[in-house]
């Protein structure tokens, strides 16, 4: 037996505000029959091209420690570095820069409520051979 993942859920203080950030970041859309609204206790975003659903649920407590689970995202039409700057412009903050001098690595960002996520290289960047680092 196995299970299928139906939702990736974010506990947060403002589901609507956080859904706006992730909608801009991912291009996911709210349910047209149940749109996200300010003050809501739950907000929902779905990937128009796949089964992934992001669910944002209001909780009374704030985030205290590092996430135990996080998302890894990869740009579809930009470089990793361009995507990092775009996401920071949307309100993400830099947590840890794990980029290597040879162009590999990733960047850890946090969304507006402090949930960490990693930005990896795009598929095009991963397809480009990396020159070995020399001393």
Percent of the chain with pLDDT over 90: 73
Distinct helix (H) and strand (E) counts, the chain: 3, 7
7 lies in the same domain as 71: no
Terminal C-alpha separation, the chain: 50
Note whether 84 and 131 are same-domain residues: yes
pLDDT band of residue 5 (cuts 50, 70, 90) is confident
Nearest to 54 by CA among 7, 92, 89: 7
Residues spanned by the domain of 22: 1-60
As given in the structure block, the two tokens for residue 38 are 């300010």
How long, in residues, is the chain? 135
Which pTM value belongs to this model? 0.89
Checking if the pLDDT of 93 tops 90, the result is yes
**Are 1 and 23 members of one domain?**
yes
> For the chain, what is the domain count?
2
Instruction: Please report, for the domain that includes residue 113, its CATH number.
Output: 3.10.180.10
């Amino acid at each position: 037996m196995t299970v299928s993942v139906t939702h990736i859920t974010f506990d947060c203080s403002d589901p609507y505000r956080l859904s706006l950030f992730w909608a801009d970041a991912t291009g996911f859309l709210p349910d047209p029959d149940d749109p996200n609204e300010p003050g809501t206790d739950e907000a929902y975003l779905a990937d128009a091209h796949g089964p992934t659903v992001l669910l944002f649920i209001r909780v009374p407590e704030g985030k205290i420690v590092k996430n135990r689970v996080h998302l890894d995202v990869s740009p579809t039409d930009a470089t990793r570095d361009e995507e990092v700057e775009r996401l920071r412009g949307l309100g993400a903050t830099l947590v840890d820069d794990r980029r290597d001098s040879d162009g590999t690595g990733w960047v850890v960002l946090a969304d507006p409520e402090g949930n960490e996520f990693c930005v990896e290289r795009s598929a095009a960047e991963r397809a480009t051979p990396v020159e070995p680092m020399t001393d």
